[in-house]
Amino acid sequence: MTSKRLPTVEQVRAFYESDVVIDTFNRAFSGHWHVTVTPERAGAPSGERYLCDLLGLRAENRLLDFGSGVGSTTCRLAGWTGCTARGLNISVKQVTIGNTLADRLGLRHRVQFDLYDGVELPYPARRFDRAIFFESVCQVPHKPLLFRELFRVLEPGGAVAGQDWVLAVDRISDEDYRRYIVPIEASVEVELASLADYRDLMIAAGFVNVRTVDAREIDPRLDREFADPPEEPVEITPEDGVRERLHKGALALRAAFARGLFTIGFVHGEVPRRACRLVGPDGVDAPALSAPKNLACIEHHRKTFHVPDRPALGAFAGLVEARTDSSVEPSCKVEAGLVHSSRFNLFHHGGRNEAFLQSVLDFFDEAARVEDVRLDLGPVRSFLDAGVDFREVQKVVTGLDLRDEPGRSRLKLWFMLSRGPRLVERAMELFTGDRVLVEALRFHDAFLVGFDLGFDGRTRLKLYPDIEPAELEDERVQERVRTLLSEPALEAMRRCVWTHVYVAERGKDVVLQFHPAEPDDFIARTLPQQAGAIHAAYAGTELLDMVVSLPSGELGPGAEVRSYGLYYMPSRVPGSPA
């Protein structure tokens, strides 16, 4: 298809700062600034009332009106329902007009208009419980980011609903797009998408119960708004002034509507009522450990993050399929903005850890064979050959991290030690990193010993002492830890069930593996917006465990988070009933 015309933020801002646009829209839309829809088949007298009904808008609600124009619709909604409202607009002039109107109507105590920078919404997480828009999202060049932002600023159980200009077809020919849609987009700085596109965008952002409605289905007389279409398509030229563009744009809308290529659409979606929450050991029941559930979780993660087929992933699925005593943990690792999502771990919860370990070693052999790589199992054997009392091993964990560059791919093996200082001492003997730092962070013998077996033939031993919040209350522990970790890191650790501390090679930053007590809140406080989009894939999911991995140096004022990992261990398939 012909490349789509995408407006820039600067073009949209300049368009709406125009006095000609403000005056023309005020006259054409009688202050509403959107097409008049009468959804009589839905039992509503207007599109505005219809969206209010979809949202269940009431006095107790905190409403965000995205793309609020000159403020008349926002004030009208607040007047009807008694809600508190914030309008958001990219135009300084229109924000000023909106606040002046709220003052004049005596609504300023409940209605305020804010300036939008065209990228991120200027509000904290969970600031609103309702969001609405009227023919404004069509003018946003980065719609995926916008819907992620709307999801972020809505609280669990919140909802968004909107009316917008949309393509009336899911697929459009190059010729029809060029002749009928480009003139619309060029006239008023919009980029049109279909209702199916809106649905996909909202689901990807984390919204559930997403609904879309073509206004033609509920307003049998919608064509009155687009009467007298021109016989031939119109063309916008660079020489056209603003008034001429607006005139031609109105004709282009009529032509596209008559052709069945353009319509008005309504969308509605909800933020899951249950935030992502931990159910912990009580959630470890037979269904949570079953192979069908674990395989379905892998498939959910693969579809969400477009994880490709790999021979090693097939070998891992074979291991998962054979277990009825384990739970899978999909994850995403973000490095300099790039998301690596072909990452899965398997935690063995049953007894007989020795038998499970043999299954893991068999999986390693199969993965090496199908990927045609040589793994170095020497460090693993050195650890095991000293003799392991498996009564001292709480869990055995395996996993894989597959990258586009084969040499960066790896298989993983961990031993979670509940006690057994002898095993810890053996791991310390083999460790080539900063032993002094490990000893400084070792407050007990619950310890995680890990091995990364790279497809490049190199294997690394990794040590993870852990720290519990109760230990941080001990003044002696605090004094010791403060010499090693920053205050922001300690504050983050206090919001966790416990924290593993990964000590890397000498001279490298300590990596903290947080197990947050409240995953949603922790991510909103700690990580950048991109993490929220990843986290949305597990919104509302009950979790046996959740981990946020983050270098300690990237915490705190002025620090930029560039590298982090998000790990999820669902007790049920995400999106399935509890």
b vs e for 168-197, b when ≥16 Cβ sit within 10 Å of the residue's Cβ? bbeebeeebbbbbbbbbbbbbbbbbbbbee
The lowest-confidence range among 166-175, 235-244, 367-376 is 235-244
Contact present, 389 and 420 (Cβ < 8 Å):
yes
**For the ranges 50-64, 147-161, 413-427, which has the lowest average pLDDT?**
413-427
Q: What is the pLDDT of residues 131-148, one digit of tens each?
A: 999 999 999 989 999 999
Report the pLDDT value the prediction gives residue 253, as an integer from 0 to 100.
Answer: 94
In the beta sheet, which residues pair with residue 335? 338, 563
Domain spans of the chain? Answer: 9-270, 277-570
Q: Is the pLDDT of residue 75 over 90?
A: yes
Which of 467, 465, 526 is CA-nearest to residue 494? 467
pTM, full prediction: 0.59
The b/e string for 126-162 (b: 16+ C-beta within 10 A; e otherwise) is bbbbbbbbbbbbbbbbebebbbbbbbbbbbbebbbbb
Closest of 424, 450, 446, 496 to residue 345, by C-alpha: 450
pLDDT band for 261, please (50, 70, 90 cuts). Answer: very high
The most confident of the ranges 1-15, 400-414, 416-430 is 400-414
Give the single-character DSSP code of 47: H
Out of 83-92, 121-130, 478-487, pick the least confident.
478-487
Quick: pLDDT tens for 437-495: 888 888 877 788 999 999 999 999 999 888 888 888 888 888 888 888 888 888 899 88
Which pLDDT does position 1 carry in this prediction?
Answer: 43
| CA gap 502, 179 in Å, rounded | 59
Can you give the pLDDT at residue 374? 97
Confidence of residue 272 (pLDDT cuts 50, 70, 90): confident
d(CA 57, CA 73): 14
What is the dotted CATH code of the domain comprising 9-270?
A: 3.40.50.150
pLDDT at 229: 93
User: In 3-state terms, what secondary structure has residue 18?
Assistant: coil
Predicted confidence band at 434 (pLDDT cuts at 50, 70, 90)?
confident
Q: Name the DSSP class of 108.
A: T
For residue 13, the model assigns a pLDDT of: 85
Given a cut of 50, whether residue 556 has pLDDT beyond it is: yes
Residues of the chain with pLDDT > 90, as a percent, come to 54
From residue 484, how far is each of 178, 439, 511, 552, 555 by CA, in Å? 62, 12, 12, 10, 14
Query: What dihedral do alpha carbons 187, 188, 194, 198 form, nearest 10°?
Result: 160
**CB-CB contact of 152 with 524 (8 Å):** yes
Q: Where are the alpha helices (DSSP H) in 141-241?
A: 143-153, 174-176, 182-188, 195-205, 215-218
pLDDT in tens, 454-467: 999 999 999 988 88
State how far the Cα of 498 lies from the Cα of 513, in Å rounded to an integer.
9
CB 270 within 8 A of CB 43: no
Residue with more model confidence, 87 or 353 = 87
Q: Which amino acid is at 553?
A: G
Kindly tell me the burial class for residue 452, based on how many C-beta atoms sit within 10 Å of its own C-beta (0-12, 13-18, 19 or more).
middle
pLDDT class of 382 with cuts at 50, 70, 90: very high
pLDDT at position 114: 97
pLDDT for res 578? 53
User: What percent of the chain is predicted at pLDDT more than 70?
Assistant: 94
pLDDT band at 506 (very low <50, low <70, confident <90, very high): low
Tell me which H or E stretch contains 502: strand 496-502
The average pLDDT across 297-306 equals 93
